[in-house]
Structure 1
Amino acid sequence: MSVRRRLSPYERVVWAAGEALPATVAATVHVEGPTTPGQLNRAIAAVRARHPLLGARVERTGPWRAWFTTRGVPGTPLRVVRPAAGRTVTSVLEEELQRPFAASRGPLARFVLVDGGDSFDLIAVFHHLVADGHSAAVVIRDVLQHLAAPAHGRPAVAAPPADGLLPGPRMRPADLVGLSRSLRVPHQASPPAPRPTGPAAPLTCSTWTLDTADTTALLDRCRAERTTVHAALCTAFARALPAPGPARVAVAADLRRILVPVPQESVGLYAASFLLPVAHTPHEAFWDRARDVREGLHRRLRPDELRPLVAGFRMMPLPHRLISGLLHRSEKKGARFDVSLSNFRVTVPETYGNLRLTSFHGVAHTSLSGAPLVILIGFGGRMFFSVTSTDPGAADLCGRAMTHLKAAVAPAVLAGARP
């Protein structure tokens, strides 16, 4: 399926951001069972044919206009890495996150096979313009399904822009007001401390996992306290941050909850983010605050709150170079948030013929500010965490947050939940 379609206003902003800032997301999975580079290359080619934006590039035709096109795009890269001393999946992830995509050349996805013989790790790396967390899970599932049972001629799945699937009128002045409100930095007692940018501080990535027992205990306690895991995490990280005043938490939102029809099988950009202030006081009960955070999250995840995060850009027709420059200057001034927390559940199968998917981590590099990007994926009854940052204290921050969470759930629970 060949593609040539104009980038929507929202996609154009994300593309312009990626011209000045990192815009890389990835999924890394561990699979029990063997494969070969040849088998994996064939599976990747089949999945690229099914999800055309993976094999696209961006063609700019003016200061306000750009297009997805699959014309003249080279094959999808597959890098093969053999296990060696000091060569870990995490170190490979760090390398891949710092390799920008050449959007004008394409393709906007690439893969890495860390071959362990009777098992392997697969890393799928995407430009954020063509994939979010749900999209990455669809790609991983389709690759493993093709490895288990090669299928040819499966119909391609279109990826319409999120802008075109929003309910309600196309243009609404209130959308611009809502977008402006969402971009404001919540009040804080003191301004954020400057963070190192660029190559001065190396990017690091850490991962950790909650086992089935610890995951069940956390879920049970959240249900008993009438709150959610995401609200509990926001509360734990707010308590772990050293800065006074409310924590500024960037929350990732899956737009599929409001789009019509729901692009469930489409691989594209159907996510946005907003800032949520999370107050914390030394003597406040953990679960009281978590219930308040849950209410704040539910309020911000309503359709009338999510719509402006996409539709508002229809009313801001700025040249792409101006968008890139504004975003780059904003990042140079410091982080807009203290920590970013993404949380979603993966519902793909665990077994594919003689292959078994045993772990699933998501990672991202979308900021120069150094603020930690934490991603939680629920899969197979466990919780898989990652943190990516150029802040040397990011891992310690996550450790403190998990300690707060452990203490809130039960003294004997989550003992190993530390990055």
Structure 2
Amino acid sequence: MTARRPFALFERGMYLDGQRPVAFVLPGTLTGTLDEARLRAALDRVQARHAVLQSLVEQGADGRPWFVQQAAPPPIPLRVVERLGEDDWQEQARLECERLFDGGREPLVRLVWLRGHGRSDLLLSCHHCICDGLSAVGLLQDILAVCGRPDATLGPCFPLQGGADVVPPEARNDRRLRRRAYWKARLFAWLVRLQRIGPPVQYGPAYTVRWTIEPAAVAALVRRGKHAGVGVFAALCTAFMLACASVRGARGVDKFVSPVDARRYLPALQGGALFTMAPTVRLSFHRKAVMTDADFWTLARALQDDMRRQIDRLAPTVYEQLLGLERLHPLFERLIAYSRSRRAGRGVSLSYLGRLDGSSRDDGGFRLEAIHAPSALLEPTPANLVTIVGFAGRLDFAFISDESSMPRADAVRIRRLAMDLLQAATVWPAPAASGVGIPSVPVESL
């Protein structure tokens, strides 16, 4: 059975008619021997699980793109490159971010295999209109599972579902929620029509700064955080926020945000569905914690508590966006023109994919040795994005920005100071924020 559906507004905003590179690249390094036939068969199995990977993109009469499921879909592209060195994957990740997808002829996912003797790299490249970071992780895990064990059982299959289709029935039938979604969309549309649209803002060349925290340092951080009642991600956010405030100044960053996995609010997507919409929570320190000269862990604990409160309250916002945004398609071109005329790159997004150690098993003659922090290229600029992934006891980071939004030298200074703060925080007792060279920190009253 084949199906078709139009792009949701958030998908359309990522796709941009397929004429701009909007890609998400997840690299992994393997030891052992990969078999090309098995890898090809694994891609076919994974494609059969997701209707969106069996679909091509067609333009509707109104210019709106549609996913059209194919009875005999073209396979997921596999590009094989000979591996010459340990760092080849970084250049390939950059190239994959910049390559356009041809959605009218092939799926919006592709795989690069850097083939070496005893060591290989796989780079899973996904168009951001169908995948977020967790989607890419799930795809890579499924590919490796089937490549190692062809009889492996994967999760459920997912049909083509639009944004409103995945909203739980109790939310879809909530008249008050639907009214809020309707009037918020109307108000937003009215505000968009009032905005003056200038010429597109130009940005400098994009770059990626990469580094790793080794297992011993990660273990020390986890132990200290556990004693303080703080998770790893809250500690990382605290270090980056303090470092940014020191390097860029109190007004150098408009806001800090973190994406949240929307699947927690959408049962129809649980079990491995591909999805791209990622609501965010605002990251800020409680004013009281800052004014009392709190130490690192007190700040981190306050930040963590605030994040949890926001996440617990986020479900209605997700439902309202999925139900209300579809009313804005007539304004799509104006929305894009307006967003391009406003300078982006003043905020920082911290995205943690979690600890993926469950993927490190031996599979049919090969073993996943490392998962690297993903690269991304977003429109109009990737600035300022920090991606983090935990694997095999390590934490891997990628700081992605552009030279006009944040000079590379500043990103390197932020990295160095954030790592110094984390190292100092593992010492007993942790230093006060004012004792580690931080002139001021971003605050927001709860």
Which TM-score applies when normalising by structure 1?
Answer: 0.81
Are the equivalent residues in 2 in contact too, given 1:240–1:397 (CA < 8 A)? yes
Q: Amino acid of the residue matched to residue 400 of structure 1?
A: L
Aligned twin of 2:7 = 7
Structure 2 distance, partners of 1:60, 1:290, is: 48
Which moved further from structure 2: 373-382 or 158-167?
158-167
Q: Amino acid of the residue matched to residue 174 of structure 1?
A: R
Does residue 350 (structure 1) correspond to residue 388 (structure 2)? The answer is: no
Which one of the candidate residues 386, 394, 397 is aligned to 2:398? 386
Does residue 257 (structure 1) correspond to residue 264 (structure 2)? The answer is: yes
Give, in angstroms, the shift of residue 332 of structure 1: 4.2
Aligned twin of 1:69 = 68
Are the equivalent residues in 2 in contact too, given 1:6–1:68 (CA < 8 A)? yes
1:94-113 equivalent positions in 2, closer than 5 A:
94-113=94-113
Which moved further from structure 2: 168-177 or 389-398?
168-177
| Counterpart secondary structure, 2:171 | coil
Give, in angstroms, the shift of residue 69 of structure 1: 1.5
Does residue 371 (structure 1) correspond to residue 383 (structure 2)? The answer is: yes
Aligned twin of 1:56 = 55
Q: Amino acid of the residue matched to residue 173 of structure 1?
A: R
How many residue pairs get aligned? The number is: 396
| Counterpart secondary structure, 1:75 | coil
Does residue 340 (structure 1) correspond to residue 349 (structure 2)? The answer is: yes
1:8-407 equivalent positions in 2, closer than 5 A:
8-16=8-16, 22-63=21-62, 65-71=64-70, 74-84=74-84, 88-151=88-151, 157-159=157-159, 160-161=161-162, 163-167=164-168, 168-170=170-172, 172-175=178-181, 197=202, 200-201=204-205, 203-241=206-244, 242-245=248-251, 248-266=255-273, 268-269=274-275, 271-274=277-280, 276-279=282-285, 284-302=294-312, 304-309=313-318, 311-317=320-326, 320=329, 322-335=331-344, 337-345=346-354, 346=356, 348-351=358-361, 352-361=363-372, 362-391=374-403, 392=408, 393-407=410-424
Aligned residues with identical type, % of pairs:
26
Change (3 A) 1:207 1:118: same
Change (3 A) 1:313 1:147: closer
Which moved further from structure 2: 391-400 or 280-289?
280-289
Change (3 A) 1:152 1:92: same
Give, in angstroms, the shift of residue 108 of structure 1: 0.3
Q: Amino acid of the residue matched to residue 90 of structure 2?
A: T
Structure 2 distance, partners of 1:217, 1:49, is: 43
Change (3 A) 1:87 1:155: closer
* Structure 1 unmatched runs, 5+: 183-194, 414-419
Aligned twin of 1:416 = none
Change (3 A) 1:378 1:86: closer
Are the equivalent residues in 1 in contact too, given 2:11–2:276 (CA < 8 A)? no
Q: Amino acid of the residue matched to residue 209 of structure 2?
A: S
Change (3 A) 1:157 1:86: closer
Which moved further from structure 2: 393-402 or 22-31?
393-402
Q: Amino acid of the residue matched to residue 399 of structure 2?
A: V
Change (3 A) 1:155 1:289: closer
Are the equivalent residues in 2 in contact too, given 1:124–1:136 (CA < 8 A)? yes
Structure 1 distance, partners of 2:86, 2:74, is: 32
Q: Amino acid of the residue matched to residue 393 of structure 2?
A: G
Q: Amino acid of the residue matched to residue 97 of structure 1?
A: C
Give, in angstroms, the shift of residue 403 of structure 1: 2.0
Are the equivalent residues in 2 in contact too, given 1:249–1:276 (CA < 8 A)? yes
Give, in angstroms, the shift of residue 406 of structure 1: 1.8
Change (3 A) 1:208 1:100: same
| Counterpart secondary structure, 1:172 | helix
Could you give the per-residue CA deviations for residues 185-235 of structure 1, whole angstroms, max 9, x where no partner exists?
A: xxxxxxxxxx9845x41x222332222222222222222222222222222
Are the equivalent residues in 2 in contact too, given 1:29–1:359 (CA < 8 A)? yes
* Structure 2 unmatched runs, 5+: 189-199, 431-446
Could you give the per-residue CA deviations for residues 108-140 of structure 1, whole angstroms, max 9, x where no partner exists?
A: 001111112211100000012222222212211
Which moved further from structure 2: 291-300 or 275-284?
275-284
Structure 2 distance, partners of 1:237, 1:181, is: 35
Greater gyration radius? 2
Structure 1 distance, partners of 2:95, 2:46, is: 24
Give, in angstroms, the shift of residue 154 of structure 1: 7.1
Are the equivalent residues in 2 in contact too, given 1:196–1:369 (CA < 8 A)? no
Which TM-score applies when normalising by structure 2?
Answer: 0.77
Which moved further from structure 2: 330-339 or 292-301?
330-339
Which moved further from structure 2: 344-353 or 212-221?
344-353
Which moved further from structure 2: 379-388 or 306-315?
306-315
Q: Amino acid of the residue matched to residue 394 of structure 1?
A: A
